[in-house]
Chain A
Amino acid sequence: MSVSASAETLSDDVIDPGRLGLWLFLLSEILLFGGFFASYVMMRWGSPDCRLGTPAWPAPDYGTTLSMAALNTFILITSSYTMVRSVLACEEGRVEAFRRNLWATIGLGAAFLAVKAVEYSLKFGHGYYPGGHFVVEHPGYAIFFSFYFVMTGLHGVHVLVGLIWNGLLLRSRQDPRSPEFARKAEYAGLYWHFVDVVWVFLFPLFYLI
């Protein structure tokens, strides 16, 4: 076997340190959100006011709440699709397609946050927060609303970080056709898809059951 052939074989077997580092970071994120999810499920299971298995939201506002959450699910899944198309285009050296799909991903991510902001404002208007007039009358809901704002807020921060990351990728002066840039695009994609995975679990747990 020639030296170049053996080096090529070796490079196929050895993982890129950047990607390994990112997966380690994602592992820490799995543990962070996993702890929240387990605590939330235990809280809901033992709650007499908002027991797990049926939607916890008060009935008058539930239709609007579910519609907005379903819209955000559609937005985030679509953004994951545009992100993976962007990474693929980058790997193929199709710069225009890469930029177009990345812009679409950023636009969809911003739309997700906009819908979430409207949803939060409606919740505050109804007094659906710890200390709000609804919670004063129904104290059993306080812990549910606390979990709701902490977990969806933490997820929203992750979406914001993803938007900044994608924006930096768009503004990068590095050659988009270079393998190094393609790796950076892949890292941004991995993070963005993870944010989507978290929402995939948040959606049913907070809005459907």
Chain B
Amino acid sequence: MSAHNSDESFVFGAVFALLLILTAVTIVSARFGMEPLMGVVVAMGVASAKAGLIGIYFMRLRREPVVVWCLVVAGISAVATLAIGILPDMALKLQ
């Protein structure tokens, strides 16, 4: 096995461990009885971090050319637009 692939194998192992730790963090933090809004922010923040790790390392986005990054950013932007679009409705219901 080349040194490059050995390094990559180690990185995959480290990412796997980190994903398990983040899963434990999100379960434990949900049991703390945080404010609902803070609970949502923490859970979605941890989920985004986990998705980022899987995308960048397991799906090898770090090696992909700009065109693939553009596709990913387009998808995330579309979903973010949907989420941001309903924020006013949520904010009004908070009051």
A: residues with CB less than 8 A from B are 13, 15, 19-20, 23-24, 26-27, 30-31, 34-35, 37-38, 41-42, 45-46, 51-55, 66, 70, 73-74, 77-78, 80-81, 83-85, 88, 91-92, 189-190, 193-194, 196-197, 200-201, 203-205, 208-209
Contact = CB atoms under 8 A, between A and B. Distances in A.
B83 interface: yes
A142 to B, nearest CB: 20
Interface of B: 1-2, 5, 8-9, 12-13, 16, 19-20, 23, 26-27, 30, 35-37, 39-40, 43-44, 46-47, 50-51, 54-55, 57-59, 64-65, 67-68, 71-72, 74-76, 78-79, 82-83, 85-86, 89-90, 93
A209 B75 contact: no
A204 B43 contact: yes
Contact of A54 (B36, B59, B83): B36
- State the majority secondary structure of interface residues on B: helix
- State the majority secondary structure of interface residues on A: helix
